[in-house]
């Protein structure tokens, strides 16, 4: 008798969409559209699709459920009043899609971070009224990193609600771009995004959150990083060695302990087996979750890669769904 192997239930949780009103805001000048410009391209029709086309691509790859989040957009760059309006509208639109396909879609909230208190209130509304699983913050807010204390009400509310904040890349800091690689952008424009700039900017944001004392104030705060942790699992030991030394720094900090206790990472857009194994060795497989980064990466690519990863069926099951179920209470 042959045994039929059951296909895993696959949850992917860095999967994007583009709200029509947010796109119009960028185009009409109601908000700074620089951050969303790259999304309004040939991918825009797929990003706007919260129905048949998205589901078809999920089915072709064997993905059962997407946790959907908004692409980097004007929401975090607008004036506070506009940001609040755009975030509420985008979250309400995503909620409608999750209600239409409740077995296939869940949501991360977009937050109006220019008004941190309003962002905390919108996070609570999205979680308690709309059933969202947390929130995604894209890059910086009007040039500011989110370790600044003005933004701490967002993290305080996330801890109180026991939901994660997903730190996702946004446009890299212009000063860093100019200093590090602007002279190569004509030949290699993607240095300014996924090839390098996104990683530097987002990893720096995570490091700043840890050294700011945020996790002393909110020790149960949960943070997700995509792209296999933006390189930090490879570097966490070295960072920890120098930041916890009572000889070398005035305020020693247990960097590795905080990173491995308060952070989770996803495979979104980084389908590298050596990088994955390094991340698992540093953080443990319970901290790693499968994601694709759709439509910027392809569902089939991510799923076919997972077939080649040298992990047990039990560990793949954790990455595919059980880790997400625990973290997101699904």
**Catalytic machinery residues:** 293
CA-based torsion, 323, 279, 282, 235: positive or negative: negative
C-beta atoms surrounding 136 within 10 Å: 25
C-alpha 260/C-alpha 100 separation (Å) is 36
Specify the DSSP class assigned to residue 311: -
The two three-digit tokens of residue 274, written as one number? 């050596």
Residue count (the chain): 330
**Backbone phi, then psi, for 14, in 5-degree steps?**
-130, 70
CB–CB of 291/226 below 8 Å?
yes
How far apart are alpha carbons 32 and 100 in whole angstroms?
A: 31
Residue 286, phi then psi, degrees to nearest 5: -70, -10
Assess contact for 43 and 285: CB atoms under 8 A: no
Q: 3-state SS of 110-139? A: ECCCCCHHHHHHHHHHHHHCCCCCCEEEEC
Q: Which of 171, 161, 146 is nearest to 108 (CA)?
A: 161
3-state secondary structure of 19: coil
Place of tokens 């590795």: 256
Structure tokens at 261: 């206790």
The tokens 């904040």 sit on which residue?
165
**Closest by Cα among 178, 156, 175, 176 to 165:** 156
Tokens representing 270? 């980084």
């Amino acid at each position: 008798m042959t045994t039929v192997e059951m296909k895993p239930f696959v949850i992917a949780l860095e999967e994007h969409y583009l709200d029509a009103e947010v796109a119009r805001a960028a185009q009409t000048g109601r908000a700074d559209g620089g951050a969303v410009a790259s999304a309004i391209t040939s991918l825009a029709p797929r990003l706007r699709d919260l129905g048949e086309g998205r589901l078809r691509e999920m089915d072709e790859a064997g993905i059962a459920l997407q946790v959907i989040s908004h692409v980097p957009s004007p929401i975090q760059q607008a004036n506070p009043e506009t940001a609040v309006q755009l975030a509420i509208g985008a979250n309400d639109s995503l909620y409608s899609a999750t209600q239409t396909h409740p077995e296939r879609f869940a949501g991360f909230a977009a937050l109006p971070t220019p008004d941190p208190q309003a962002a905390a209130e919108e996070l609570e509304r999205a979680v308690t009224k709309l059933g969202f699983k947390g929130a995604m913050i894209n890059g910086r807010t009007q040039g500011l990193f989110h370790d600044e204390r003005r933004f701490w009400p967002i993290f305080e509310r996330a801890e109180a609600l026991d939901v994660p904040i997903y730190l996702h890349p946004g446009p890299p800091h212009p000063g860093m771009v100019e200093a590090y690689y602007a002279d190569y952008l004509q030949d290699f424009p993607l240095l300014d995004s996924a090839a390098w700039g996104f990683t530097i900017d987002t990893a720096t944001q995570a490091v700043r959150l840890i050294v700011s004392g945020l996790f002393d104030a909110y020790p149960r705060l949960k943070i997700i990083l995509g792209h296999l942790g933006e390189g930090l699992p490879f570097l966490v030991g070295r960072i920890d060695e120098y930041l916890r030394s009572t000889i070398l720094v005035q305020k020693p900090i247990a960097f590795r302990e905080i990173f491995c206790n308060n952070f989770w990472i996803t495979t979104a857009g980084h389908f590298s087996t050596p990088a994955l194994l390094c991340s698992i060795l540093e953080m443990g497989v319970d901290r790693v979750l499968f994601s694709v980064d759709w439509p910027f990466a392809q569902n089939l690519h991510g799923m076919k890669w997972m077939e080649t990863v040298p992990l047990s069926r039990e560990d793949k099951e954790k990455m595919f769904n059980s880790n997400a179920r625990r973290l997101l209470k699904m």
